[in-house]
Amino acid sequence: MNLLLDIGNSRIKWSLAAVRNGAAAGDIELLGQASAADGFSCLDCIDQAPARVLVSNVAGPAIAGLLRAYCEARWALAPEFAAAEPSRGALRNGYENYRLLGVDRWLALLAAWHTHHGAVCVVDVGTALTVDLIDAHGQHLGGFIAPGAELMVAALNAGTGDIERFRDAGSNNNPDPGHVAPGRNTREAIDSGAWLAMAGLVERARALLPGDAVGARFIVTGGNGDRLLPLLEARAEHCPALVLRGLWLYWQDAGGA
């Protein structure tokens, strides 16, 4: 088996895939996730040594070094890191400098295009919110990056006078994560405002797809993707393992998995 790792700013996600062609990208599902702050002890539950460790990492070189040390000490393996590419088949990277597109975004696009081969809006809801667009011909049009809900709240707390005090004094009368209503206290107003701001960005971004944007596929991933889904007007597919699926395709297509 190969160990697939998606290392984000807040979470580490993993899956296992058969060596060679035993698993298709659509079969790759999220097996576990843990806080990135806890390091790689979450992988201690894997009792069989993987043949390879294949990685998407956007958390920086320090955590990459920690992963190398863990893999070498436990399995005598060096992890292999994916990187953004200028193109892969008909899918073409839309960044001016393709290397500067986050590898997680590239892998999510790769998985989305491989599945649908048509216009797609890919949304990743994590520490940051990213929205990427692919047209019907496989051209990545670029994307949008905005703070996630927690970062929006933190920015308000840091950049205003008394709002944090009023927020701490409020209660959340809308505990259902899929329900957003006008706030009746500062806590609710901030939380609802952050989630509606993200939903509004996603809907407006999707409308920028050329041609029939209404008919475009809509895929949501990321640790908070399930909370954003009910706030979107368009029907969306929820795929928590989207980056992991793209990671498997990355190595399969390269002939190395």
50: tokens are 């993987």
Instruction: Determine the Cα–Cα distance for residues 177 and 233; give it in Å rounded to an integer.
Output: 16
Instruction: Determine the Cα–Cα distance for residues 172 and 191; give it in Å rounded to an integer.
Output: 9
First to last CA, the chain: 10
Q: What's the full length of the chain, in residues?
A: 257
Instruction: Determine the Cα–Cα distance for residues 189 and 42; give it in Å rounded to an integer.
Output: 36
CA-wise closest residue to 222 among 149, 133, 140: 149
Catalytic one among 6, 47, 104, 212? 104
Q: DSSP string of 34-87?
A: EEGGGTTGGGGG--S--SEEEEEE-S-HHHHHHHHHHHHHHHS---EE----SE
Q: Is 104 a catalytic residue?
A: yes
Q: Which amino acid is at 69?
A: A
Active site residues: 104
